[in-house]
Chains A and B, each alone.
Chain A
Amino acid sequence: MSERSSEVLLQISGLEIQYGAAIAVRGVNLVVRRGELVSVIGNNGAGKTSLLRGISGLVRPRAGQVIFKGEDTASFPAHEKVRRGLILVPEGRLIFADQTVEDNLILGAYGRWNRERKEVLRSFEDMFALFPRLKERLHQRAGSLSGGEQQMLAVARGLVSKPDLLMIDEMSLGLAPKIVGQMMAVLRDLNAAGQTILLVEQLAAQALAIADRAYVVGHGKIELEGSAAELADLPAVMEAFLGRKRRPSSTKENLNEQTYH
């Protein structure tokens, strides 16, 4: 994968996030260098989405630092972070369903639209090269797109702001295998062209396949970290996230089990 400068783009230390009495993230340290593609994998409820919400400013961390381009942004609201080049493509896509595809893209470039209209339109062309479907559907209501097209739009909406760091939460959610493969390839190509990416993903095998480095999150903490290739070889990771699934047999004994924890 890409071997780039060692400039630290994002450095998180001691991050804690709490909702009411529930602690979702407990003291996470994480680093993303410019040019890297870093994956975060882990079980449901492990705190992956909360981590991204904390980094992006959608929730305010209770403690810890979020140093982005050398500045502690932990207390900044989300729009201030966007202005500095930190973008989140949220879980479930959250496109603006009642507006057209074009409007969604214009909103993605909100901060650039007035200052550099020409460059923005050029970014749009880049997006159409990446996702030709979006050009075909430019004037359609975004809510009428299929699931795969909506995810393309969500990623494109993030990219047209020219982010230093693009964070993506659960990109594969609800996508057919073929589309997941295509989207993963797009991320890999974007990264090869220099885009720094932080990808939170449930499909660990695919996420590790395109990442430089990865973190495994569990119970709100970083449990493992290392190069993606190293992690993919660890027995603990293979069993929990990658290993060929042991097929549960459909014998009667199994069926009589009452609970699934």
Chain B
Amino acid sequence: MTSRFTLPAFTGLAVFLGILPFTADNEYSLRLFMLFTIYAIVALGLNILVGLAGLISLGQAGLFALGAYTGAILATRLGADFVLSVVAGMLIAGLFGALLAYPTVRVRGVYLAVITIAFGLIVENVIIEWHELTGGTTGVSSIPKPSLFSIPLDGFRYYAVLAVLLFIVVVVTHNIKRSRYGRAMLAVSQSETAARSVGLNATGVRTLAFVIAASTAGLAGVLYAFLNLYISPDSFTFNDSIRFLLMVVLGGAGTTVGALTGALILTYLPEYLQQLQYWQQFAYGLLLAVVMFVLPLGIFGTLADLAGRYLKRPSSAYPMDGYAIETVVKDAKGGRTSARFVADGLTIRFGGLTALNKASMQVDPGEIHALIGPNGAGKSTLVNIVTGFYKPQEGRVSLDDVNLAGSAPHLVARSGVARTFQNTELFGELTVIENVMIGYQKRLSYGVFEAALRIGRFGEEEVECRRAAAALLSFVGLTAFTNEKARFLPFGMQRRLEIARALAAAPKLLLLDEPAAGLTTQEIDELDRMIRHIASLGISVLLIEHHVELIMSVADRVTVLDYGVVIASDVPTIIQDDPRVIEAYFGTAPATHAAAGGPAS
């Protein structure tokens, strides 16, 4: 959903929530509707985890249970009131959510799903066996009726509280989705490598997603306990976890309206299917299978995808309002400090293979320095060391005398190293401008609460970020594609978009990994001018490249790697005539009978 639909959608939801109770002709249908609001809250939180962060949890019932039992136990044992129970339930569930996020450091995908299943099973088992606290299989009964400011919340009053809370959760999750946090989650799920390279702490981002999904589940759990006034382990089984995940997937992961629709359908469907008696499960399963087959991205996911394909996106460029590349690449203090980059004595071995052997090089402030060498010479390894993806066994990498060797990629990025990728690593499902905005991410300072409520620095900084991104798109000539999905761009433009994203972080050192590969002569001419312009702004450029003409034209100095050893480092004209470099890299006469003797790389 684009933002032009947001306000009508929120209004529609408010009207829907306001009118619906009047259609309830008995206690039971009102209760069913309250159940929907509770499930919808779980689904909305889980939607952040599944739809944005791309992680699957099959343990939401465990978190739902933690909320419910925390609330119920506090209310029955300690006489805590409704508000305190709600807050405590959210806190406890959120805490466990953070713990559950820890395994994502090493476990992903289906393996993570197994861990969340295990978590759900453990919670269920503890609830059953810890009689003294939870009442075992008989559960907690005689939970006091909720009241707010000594107004008893029964019937429609409790519904009103649920409806308001649901509305708040819709707004908050929607706002987070449309903030730097939402963008960060999408970025991490689409390309973790690229996300870390722009300075995002992938583990931190995933933890936030887990905490949001967990605390909303906890909130819903408390609300459920106060609706039923009795809870038992039966309501928190693995089957419930599956149902929560189904709500998100059926409605369309990543879409707010999808999560709401999924919750609505899966709350009411079983009621209607009860008429079928024995064939209830069969019909339920069949319906799910058919819907997912016809609409593979879920109901609203598929609709949004089709709309994105066939409706024209608003192509209007975002106003730059005086922003230009020169202003954007200045750091926060308003000045630019050019930095000296030094790699000193880098050695790294993989098994028996020494990929780099005491390799040293230096890039002066504002210099364009090319790094060349045959395929397999160790260039990619060097790039991976400089950007923090590999840790060298020996040697130092420093930017202005700050040692970076061994730092995590996102910390290297934050200290001023930006990069592009050989095979392009864009966030394909995000728009062109959003890709650049993620590059700007670490220069934004507003917090989660400011994002959730759209207060404080949020508005100002978002505008600033968008303008800077628009200015960078103009610099690389992609203004006309501002709102296209990045994956639809042709390869040459994807490369330019990567440069814009890298510049958005206001780097001191820009690392371009084969930027000319796959470009035509004209495009290489443009790239040539672009690189000169970037260096003229005081940014040091390390250019890994095979295009000889570009290197000879643009580079101030050239370093040549062969078999992990630096064999030459000098100005281009000298490098060009160096016999060792000719032998190792240029080859004597291209397109001759070289193949007959076999490629000797």
**A and B form one complex:** yes
Contacts A43-B520, A146-B375, A174-B422; A185 near B592 (Cβ below 8 A): yes
> Which residues from B are CB-within-8-Å of A260?
475-477, 496, 526-527, 529-530
Contact B598 A147 (CB under 8 A): no
User: Smallest Cβ distance from B487 to chain A, in angstroms?
Assistant: 10
A152 to B376, CA, bound (A): 13
A145 to B491, CA, bound (A): 24
Produce 1/0 per residue, A13-28, CB < 8 A to B: 0000001111000000
User: Smallest Cβ distance from A212 to chain B, in angstroms?
Assistant: 16
Summed over the interface, the residue pairs from A and B with CB atoms below 8 Å come to a total of: 165
A44 to B589, CA, bound (A): 28
> Which residues from A are CB-within-8-Å of B553?
245, 247-248
Contact B518 A202 (CB under 8 A): yes
**Taking the complex as formed, is B7 at the interface, i.e. its CB lies under 8 A from any CB of chain A?**
no
Q: Which B residues, 298 to 315, have Cβ-Cβ distances below 8 Å to chain A?
A: 308-310, 312
**Taking the complex as formed, is A180 at the interface, i.e. its CB lies under 8 A from any CB of chain B?**
yes
**Taking the complex as formed, is A250 at the interface, i.e. its CB lies under 8 A from any CB of chain B?**
yes
A221 to B518, CA, bound (A): 20
Chain A residue nearest in CB terms to B583: A178
Q: Which A residues, 168 to 215, have Cβ-Cβ distances below 8 Å to chain B?
A: 170, 173-186, 188-189, 202, 204, 206, 209-210
What bracket does the count of chain B residues touching chain A fall in? 35 or more
Chain B residue nearest in CB terms to A19: B488
Partner of B586, one of A19, A20, A177, A209: A177
**Taking the complex as formed, is A132 at the interface, i.e. its CB lies under 8 A from any CB of chain B?**
yes
Contact B375 A210 (CB under 8 A): no
**Taking the complex as formed, is A8 at the interface, i.e. its CB lies under 8 A from any CB of chain B?**
no
Partner of B601, one of A148, A209, A210, A259: A148
**Taking the complex as formed, is B546 at the interface, i.e. its CB lies under 8 A from any CB of chain A?**
yes
Partner of B528, one of A19, A20, A248, A261: A248
Contact A258 B374 (CB under 8 A): no
Contacts A132-B598, A179-B599, A246-B525; A173 near B517 (Cβ below 8 A): yes
Contact A131 B477 (CB under 8 A): no
User: Smallest Cβ distance from A185 to chain B, in angstroms?
Assistant: 4
Chain A residue nearest in CB terms to B473: A259
Tell me the interface secondary structure of chain B in the complex: helix
A180 to B601, CA, bound (A): 11
**Taking the complex as formed, is B490 at the interface, i.e. its CB lies under 8 A from any CB of chain A?**
yes
Contact B490 A44 (CB under 8 A): yes
Contacts A245-B525, A248-B529, A254-B529; A21 near B599 (Cβ below 8 A): no
Contact B591 A210 (CB under 8 A): yes
A19 to B487, CA, bound (A): 12
Q: Which B residues, 360 to 415, have Cβ-Cβ distances below 8 Å to chain A?
A: 372-376
User: Smallest Cβ distance from A126 to chain B, in angstroms?
Assistant: 13
Contact A147 B376 (CB under 8 A): yes
Contacts A45-B493, A131-B599, A245-B549; A257 near B529 (Cβ below 8 A): yes
User: Which of B526, B589, B598: most chain A Cβ within 10 A?
Assistant: B598
**Taking the complex as formed, is A225 at the interface, i.e. its CB lies under 8 A from any CB of chain B?**
no
Chain B residue nearest in CB terms to A24: B490
Q: Which A residues, 211 to 261, have Cβ-Cβ distances below 8 Å to chain B?
A: 240-243, 245-248, 250, 254-255, 257-261
Partner of B590, one of A131, A152, A180: A180
> Which residues from B are CB-within-8-Å of A85?
none
Contact A148 B374 (CB under 8 A): yes
Contact B591 A176 (CB under 8 A): no
> Which residues from B are CB-within-8-Å of A188?
591
> Which residues from B are CB-within-8-Å of A20?
308-310, 488
**Taking the complex as formed, is B548 at the interface, i.e. its CB lies under 8 A from any CB of chain A?**
yes
User: Smallest Cβ distance from B326 to chain A, in angstroms?
Assistant: 10
Contact A255 B601 (CB under 8 A): no
Contacts A43-B522, A133-B598; A179 near B475 (Cβ below 8 A): no
Contact B524 A245 (CB under 8 A): yes
Produce 1/0 per residue, B475-503, CB < 8 A to A: 11101000000001011110010000000
Contact B374 A44 (CB under 8 A): no
Contact A44 B546 (CB under 8 A): no
Interfacial residues, chain A to chain B (CB-CB below 8 A):
19-22, 43-45, 49, 92, 130-133, 145-149, 152, 170, 173-186, 188-189, 202, 204, 206, 209-210, 240-243, 245-248, 250, 254-255, 257-261
Interfacial residues, chain B to chain A (CB-CB below 8 A):
308-310, 312, 324-325, 372-376, 422-423, 474-477, 479, 488, 490-493, 496, 514, 517-530, 532-533, 536, 546, 548-549, 553, 584-587, 589-596, 598-599, 601
20 chain-A/chain-B pairs, Cβ below 8 angstroms: A22-B488, A43-B523, A44-B493, A132-B598, A146-B374, A146-B601, A147-B376, A149-B376, A173-B518, A174-B422, A174-B546, A175-B546, A176-B585, A178-B586, A179-B601, A180-B590, A185-B591, A185-B595, A210-B591, A254-B529
Since A178-B587, A182-B594 are in contact, a sample of 14 more A-B pairs with Cβ atoms closer than 8 Å, ordered by chain A residue number, is A20-B310, A21-B312, A22-B488, A43-B492, A44-B519, A45-B491, A45-B493, A148-B376, A149-B376, A177-B546, A177-B587, A255-B532, A258-B325, A259-B479
